[in-house]
Each structure stands twice: as structure tokens, then as C-alpha cells.
Amino acid sequence: MPMFSAYSLALCATVFATHLWFKAHEPKSMLPFLATILIIPTFPAYVLSCSQISLILACCLAYPSFYMLLFISIGSYRLSPFHPLANYPGPTIAKISKVWTVHKSMDGKLAHYYKMLHDQYGPIVHVGPNEISVAEKDLLPFIIGTQGMPKGPLWEGRAITPKKNRNQSNYSLIGVRDLTHHSHLRKTWNRAFSEEPLQDYQDILIQNANNLVEVLEKRFMEGSVELDIANVINLFSFDFMGDLATPALTMQIPWSVAIVQAFPWLSTSLRSFGAFAVSQAKLRASNESRKDLFYYLRSYSDVPQDSLFAFIPCQEIEEAFPDSGTNIDIQKLDKMPWLNAVINETLRLQPPVPSGLQRAPAVGSKGKLVGSHYIKEGTSVLVSPYVLHRDPRYFFPHPDKY
């Protein structure tokens, strides 16, 4: 019995220590996590094996007990009034683990789920162990505005580039979490989408639009009865963006970050692909006769199909551009209220990024005051445009209608 008391004490101590370590140093990669949960239980297993029980049997008893008690300890804390987000309402299962969110996102309707949660719980909802979802317009400047926070920890899980290389000038703008570095990279993109560059993109857009019309006419002449226009628009947007940025056809492969990180040789292949992308960029940079997107990006240092597939007000367009060969005039487009209203309403109901705008207080800041809410460091704040755009407080009285 004394030996079993020593085992129980060792088991509880290791569980408590592991919980405190996870709380202070949340694992961001698989190796430290596996090392922790596989090595630490050996201590209570060794203590138990000293009571004339084989080490294998002791491990069979200690490991499951360790995992069960660790789950109970972490779950109890996340549901307790001592948790920093205890005052925010939300589904109990979501407070315990993000696995529930993964389950809800598998059907591609995570934004719909968040909308349902906000309808039930209010403008601020506890949607993860250390995450809240905010649907309050007055708080947006403190989250995603000029006074906002850097990108949240989900971008750590998406990053394949080693952490030491993420502040380099050629690192992806989308994944940058450092606000200063992000601001530096953003200046280039800001210039690339100013009025003058947009005028130079017209030829590229018109060429791709003409190709689209030719495809539609060909399908019509072939006697096609049915046409998946959403798929056609998707292909058009892919061709346009590829033509806008690079001189060659580009293809996107849905790499799985977890698989790439698990098999180092895949990372080598991905870096080779990155080298190929750099060579394509240099090839494009050598051609200065064509002012496309890359021209403006260099001179200063996938469009989603759902938003493009929409009803277009033909009458207003035909009046502004009566001849089929008329070049597009950006100044005229600005003065077409019906067309702009349709585009804005389409983007409201079908935002390109319906959810996933995650932010978090900067590392080392200890937290940030968002309105009257203090967000502790280590807490993620999620903003869902889909939820905000369908909030009757902001789009009254029928936010779900076009």
C-alpha cells in the first residue's frame, strides 16, 4: 500500500506539473508535445514498477491513468471560473477543446456555425479553449484596424518556413505576425493596387475577359444545354490572377502542412518549388515592356469564385459601354452606382474570407485592452465577416436578403 501511495503521489505530481507546463508553454509543434506526453509518464510508471510489478505492466497502468487525469485537469481548469475567458458564454465542448471546431469545419460551413453561436450567445462568444469570436463593430478598430493586433497563433500552424527565416523580405505577407515587418511588406502591395497600376491592368483583364467570352460562345455553338458558370468564373479568375502576376501558368497544389512537417524530404521539395517561383519572378522582372502586377511590386522595392459569380446589371453596363470593343474606363466604373451596389452587396453576403480573421495580443505585451475588454496574452480573437455582414443591428431589417 505505501508503494501505491507513492505511485499515486507521483502520478498526480506529474499530471499537475505537465498541466502547468502546457499552460505556460503551449506546444506549437509536434515534437515537444510528443516528447512531453511520452517521457513524463515514465516517472510514475517507474515508481509503480518498484512494487514488484513488471515495468511493462506498470507502463500499461501509468500511461492511461496519466492521460486521463491530464485531460480531466485541463478540462476542469478550462471550465472553471479561474480561466481568463470564464465570463464569456459559449458551448461547453468548445471551451474544452478545438477538436470540436475542427469537427464543425469539416462540412465547409464553419462561418454558419459561428453565426448560429452569436445568435444564441451574443456579440462575444467563447469558441475555443483560449479563443473568443467577436461580432461587435465598435471593437473592430482594436482588433483588425490600425490600432489592432498581429495575426493569431493559427498562422504558426500554417507556416512551413523555419521561424528564423520569417522576417526575411521574401516571406509571405499573409503569414507575417510581426506588425512592423508586415507594415514594411504591405507598402509594396498598397502601391501595386493604387489607381495608376489598376489602369495598366486593364489590357490583361480585357484579354482574359475576351477569352472567357470566346469559351462561352464556343460552348453555345456546340449546343451545350447546361453550363456550370460558377466553374467557368473560377477558371477565369485563376487565369487572370496567374496572368497578372507571372509570365507562365502557375498551379496550386494543396499541400498539407502536417505531412510536410512530418517528412523532411517533402520540405526540401517545397523549397525547390520556392526556388522555381523566384526564378519565374526574375524572368518576369526582366520584361519591363508589360506593366502588370509584378511590375509595380518590384518597382517599389485566388480571387474566390463565390464573390465573382453574381448577377451583373447589364443595362447600366451597356449604356456606359455601348460598343463591344470599348475599352474599360475606371473613371466610368466609379460612376456606375447600380454596378457598385451589386458588387458591394455580393461581397457582403459572400465575403471572400467568411471567417478566420484571427488576431492575438503581441508576444511579450501581456495583453491588450479591446474596448472595455482586457484580452490576455495567449488569447486569440476571431472576427467573422460572415457573421458581421448578417447582423440585423448593422443591416436592418433583412440582413440575409440580397
Rg, the chain, Cα only: 27
58 and 135, same domain (yes or no): no
341 and 382, same domain (yes or no): no
Tell me if 206 sits within 8 A of 327, measured CB to CB.
yes
Q: Please determine, for residue 343, whether its predicted confidence score (pLDDT) is greater than 90.
A: no
288 and 322, same domain (yes or no): yes
Residue 259 one-letter amino acid:
I
From 57, 79, 101, the end of a domain falls on 79
Q: How does strand 357-359 pair with strand 380-383?
A: antiparallel
334 and 196, same domain (yes or no): yes
Task: For residues 126-145, give the mean pLDDT.
Answer: 95
Strand order in the sheet with 380-383: 124-128, 131-134, 380-383, 357-359
Total of domains in the chain: 3
303 and 226, same domain (yes or no): yes
Task: Enter the pTM of the model.
Answer: 0.74
**What is the structure's pLDDT at 86?**
96
From 79, 114, 130, the end of a domain falls on 79
133 and 250, same domain (yes or no): no
From 47, 79, 111, the end of a domain falls on 79
Q: Please determine, for residue 170, whether its predicted confidence score (pLDDT) is greater than 70.
A: no
**What is the structure's pLDDT at 316?**
81
240 and 112, same domain (yes or no): no
Asked whether residue 96 is domain-assigned, the answer is yes
Each residue's pLDDT tens digit, 244-303:
776 444 433 333 555 665 666 656 666 676 677 767 666 666 665 556 555 555 544 344
**What is the structure's pLDDT at 380?**
94
Helix/strand/coil for 363: coil
Q: In whole angstroms, give the CA distance from residue 136 to residue 205.
A: 37
Task: For residues 342-348, give the mean pLDDT.
Answer: 90
Q: pLDDT band at 383, cuts 50/70/90?
A: very high
63 and 119, same domain (yes or no): no
Asked whether residue 158 is domain-assigned, the answer is no
112 and 138, same domain (yes or no): yes
Asked whether residue 237 is domain-assigned, the answer is yes
Asked whether residue 233 is domain-assigned, the answer is yes
233 and 324, same domain (yes or no): yes
Asked whether residue 159 is domain-assigned, the answer is no
Long-range pairs, 112-116, Cβ under 8 A, ≥24: 112/386, 114/355, 114/382, 114/384, 114/386, 114/387, 115/384, 115/386, 115/387, 115/390
Task: For residues 11-29, give the mean pLDDT.
Answer: 88
Q: Please determine, for residue 161, whether its predicted confidence score (pLDDT) is greater than 70.
A: no
Q: pLDDT band at 188, cuts 50/70/90?
A: confident
**What is the structure's pLDDT at 253?**
37
Q: pLDDT band at 29, cuts 50/70/90?
A: confident
Q: In whole angstroms, give the CA distance from residue 248 to residue 264.
A: 28
18 and 144, same domain (yes or no): no
Asked whether residue 333 is domain-assigned, the answer is yes
**What is the structure's pLDDT at 192?**
80
CB atoms within 10 A of CB 298: 15
Asked whether residue 170 is domain-assigned, the answer is no
**What is the structure's pLDDT at 121?**
97
Asked whether residue 396 is domain-assigned, the answer is no
Q: Is pLDDT larger for residue 295 or for residue 329?
A: 329
Give the list of residues 6+ apart from residue 385 with CB closer than 8 angstroms, or none.
351, 353, 354, 355, 357
What is the residue-averaged pLDDT of the chain? Answer: 81
Q: In whole angstroms, give the CA distance from residue 350 to residue 310.
A: 10
CB atoms within 10 A of CB 382: 24
Alpha helices in 353-399 (DSSP H): 385-389
Q: In whole angstroms, give the CA distance from residue 134 to residue 391.
A: 12
**What is the structure's pLDDT at 300?**
42
Domain range for 8 is 2-79
Q: Is pLDDT larger for residue 160 or for residue 231?
A: 231
319 and 235, same domain (yes or no): yes
